[in-house]
């Protein structure tokens, strides 16, 4: 009897631990889709990994160049105003600051001495050439799904770059997060170290989109919430999260707070250009992702991403449904209990481009009507855009908005962000100067606030 009781107890413990692990870890990023998966080499329905057909006959360096864009390597490995790929970009985390490393082929400070095996270990498993663990600010838990061939094509391209002598900046982390040895345990629990497996019940286009989104584009690293161990919680896949002081919004199929009510063309245009009529333009990290990565993808690959995003189950977030109607043409109408300080700042610095209606007379990129950030009661991205401005290069030309972070105080920025969300959005924000100061600290590369107040 004691043996039976002991066995039952052991079974209960195992089940409980398994369930707890399932709750903690979340699921495989594509496990929401029905059907069975196979090894990539056994999938015969279409091309999933690698480059699109237009580049199939190109050499490995050209393959790598396309994949470097698809994986958005430059954005994180380039400091503000620095040499591309030379590292130094700051990730401000709740537990300190992590700096990206130099991935040019410099032999002293970059990856010039990396062998193929060492480069694969870094990308798939987060292990440096010296055996030390990389922090998962480098998204190796997503890159692990890349094929060896794609990783080595990326290496081939990076090794054609001019070497940049740029020593790594020391991370500034609090204890125990400064203990790299703990990352071994983190990787055992949260990094599958497995390559992408196509789903035989889904279309070739879906599988290509899944590979682009999960293995290369690592969309979930910004758009999926994290658990207590800072690993992706795929139970709430693409439901939105705050990363480095910016809100990466819900891109699940939820119709109210996600992209469920966007047309395929809207999603395609937003991904490929960073703008879609009625939904506004991308700024901050999403603007960089568009300019440095998504805009380089061929149309078929962007359509594949649309197909995959459409399939992600709806996850509601706490954002209200987006207001899509323009505000009144007169500044005297439309908002009760107006913050006069915010209105004055908007009149002097914003109205000429954004208009009192929110429909820009200058460019659709500056239209505020229908923009998710304006309908976010936290006003996180509105404040960050005011602080950092917008400076994007698109097929339609340069999209520029001045950065007001040095010209206006924290209280000024809070006031105008509150006014913008109240006038053009679903619900006015209630930011304070202290909130804005905190947002400045969270942003990866931000200007310092001025001493004097304005307005």
The whole-angstrom distance between residue 50's C-alpha and the CA centroid of its chain comes to: 22
Sole residue written with tokens 């040499």: 83
Is 354 annotated for ligand binding?
Answer: yes
Condensed to tens digits (0 to 9), the pLDDT of residues 213-223 reads: 999 999 999 99
Is 235 annotated for ligand binding?
Answer: no
Q: What is the pTM of this model?
A: 0.89
Pairing state of beta strands 280-281 and 275-276? antiparallel
Is 315 annotated for ligand binding?
Answer: no
- 17 pLDDT higher than 50: no
Condensed to tens digits (0 to 9), the pLDDT of residues 299-329 reads: 999 999 999 999 999 999 888 888 888 888 8
Is 247 annotated for ligand binding?
Answer: no
Condensed to tens digits (0 to 9), the pLDDT of residues 145-158 reads: 999 999 999 999 99
Task: Report pLDDT for 318.
Answer: 82
- 21 pLDDT higher than 60: no
Q: What is the mean pLDDT of the chain?
A: 88
Is the link from the previous residue into 176 a cis peptide, with omega within 30 of 0?
A: yes
Task: Report pLDDT for 354.
Answer: 95
399 bridge partner residues: 392
Q: How many CB atoms lie within 10 A of CB 12?
A: 10
Condensed to tens digits (0 to 9), the pLDDT of residues 262-285 reads: 999 999 999 999 999 888 888 889
The CATH code for residues 204-311 is 1.10.760
Range list for CATH 1.10.760.10 in the chain: 340-445
Condensed to tens digits (0 to 9), the pLDDT of residues 72-114 reads: 999 999 998 899 999 999 888 888 889 999 999 999 999 999 9
Is 350 annotated for ligand binding?
Answer: yes
Confidence of residue 409 (pLDDT cuts 50, 70, 90): very high
- 19 pLDDT higher than 70: no
1.10.760.10, 1.20.1250.20, 1.20.1050.40, 3.30.390.50: CATH of 340-445:
1.10.760.10
Sole residue written with tokens 């498993």: 125
Is 223 annotated for ligand binding?
Answer: yes
- 2 pLDDT higher than 70: no
Task: Report pLDDT for 7.
Answer: 42
Confidence of residue 13 (pLDDT cuts 50, 70, 90): very low
- 5 pLDDT higher than 80: no
What Rg do the C-alpha atoms of the chain give, in angstroms?
23
- 238 pLDDT higher than 90: yes
Nearest to 283 by CA among 201, 392, 176, 203: 392
């Amino acid at each position: 009897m004691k043996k039976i009781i002991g066995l039952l107890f052991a079974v209960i413990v195992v089940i409980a631990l398994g369930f707890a692990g399932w709750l903690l870890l979340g699921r495989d990023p594509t496990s929401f889709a029905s059907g069975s998966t196979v090894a990539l080499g056994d999938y015969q329905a279409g091309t999933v990994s690698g480059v699109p057909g237009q580049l199939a006959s190109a050499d490995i360096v050209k393959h790598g160049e396309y994949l470097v864009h698809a994986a958005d390597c430059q954005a994180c490995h380039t400091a503000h105003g620095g040499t591309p790929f030379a590292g130094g970009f700051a990730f401000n985390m709740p537990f300190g600051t992590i700096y990206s490393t130099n991935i040019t082929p410099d032999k002293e400070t970059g990856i010039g001495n990396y062998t193929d095996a060492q480069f694969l270990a870094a990308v798939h498993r987060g292990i440096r050439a010296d055996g030390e663990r990389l922090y998962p600010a480098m998204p190796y838990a997503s890159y692990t799904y890349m094929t060896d061939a794609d990783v080595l094509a990326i290496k081939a391209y990076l090794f054609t770059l001019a070497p940049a002598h740029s020593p790594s900046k020391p991370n500034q982390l609090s204890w125990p997060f400064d203990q790299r040895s703990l990352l071994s345990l983190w990787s055992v629990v949260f990094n599958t170290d497995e390559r992408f497996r196509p789903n035989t019940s889904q279309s070739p286009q879906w599988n290509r989109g899944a590979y682009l989104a999960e293995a290369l584009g690592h969309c979930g690293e910004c758009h999926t919430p994290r658990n207590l161990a800072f690993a992706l919680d795929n139970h709430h896949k693409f439901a939105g999260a705050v990363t480095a002081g910016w809100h990466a919004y819900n891109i699940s199929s939820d119709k109210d707070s996600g992209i469920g009510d966007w047309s395929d063309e809207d999603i395609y245009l937003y991904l490929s250009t960073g703008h879609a009529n009625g939904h506004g333009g991308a700024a901050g990290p999403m603007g960089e992702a568009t300019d440095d990565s998504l805009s380089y993808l061929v149309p078929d690959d962007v359509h594949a991403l649309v197909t995959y995003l459409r399939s992600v189950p709806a996850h509601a977030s706490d954002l209200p449904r987006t207001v899509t109607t323009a505000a009144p043409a007169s500044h005297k109408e439309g908002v009760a209990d107006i913050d006069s300080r915010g209105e004055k700042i908007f009149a002097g610095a914003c109205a000429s481009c954004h208009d009192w209606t929110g429909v820009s007379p200058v460019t659709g990129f500056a239209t505020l009507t229908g923009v998710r950030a304006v309908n976010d009661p936290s006003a996180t991205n509105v404040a960050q855009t005011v602080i950092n401005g917008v400076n994007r290069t698109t097929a339609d030309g340069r999209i520029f908005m001045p950065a007001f972070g040095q010209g206006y105080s924290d209280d000024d920025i809070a006031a105008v962000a509150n006014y913008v969300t109240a006038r053009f959005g679903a619900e006015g924000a209630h930011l304070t100067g202290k909130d804005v100061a905190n947002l400045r600290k969270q942003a990866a590369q931000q200007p310092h606030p001025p001493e004097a107040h304005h307005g």
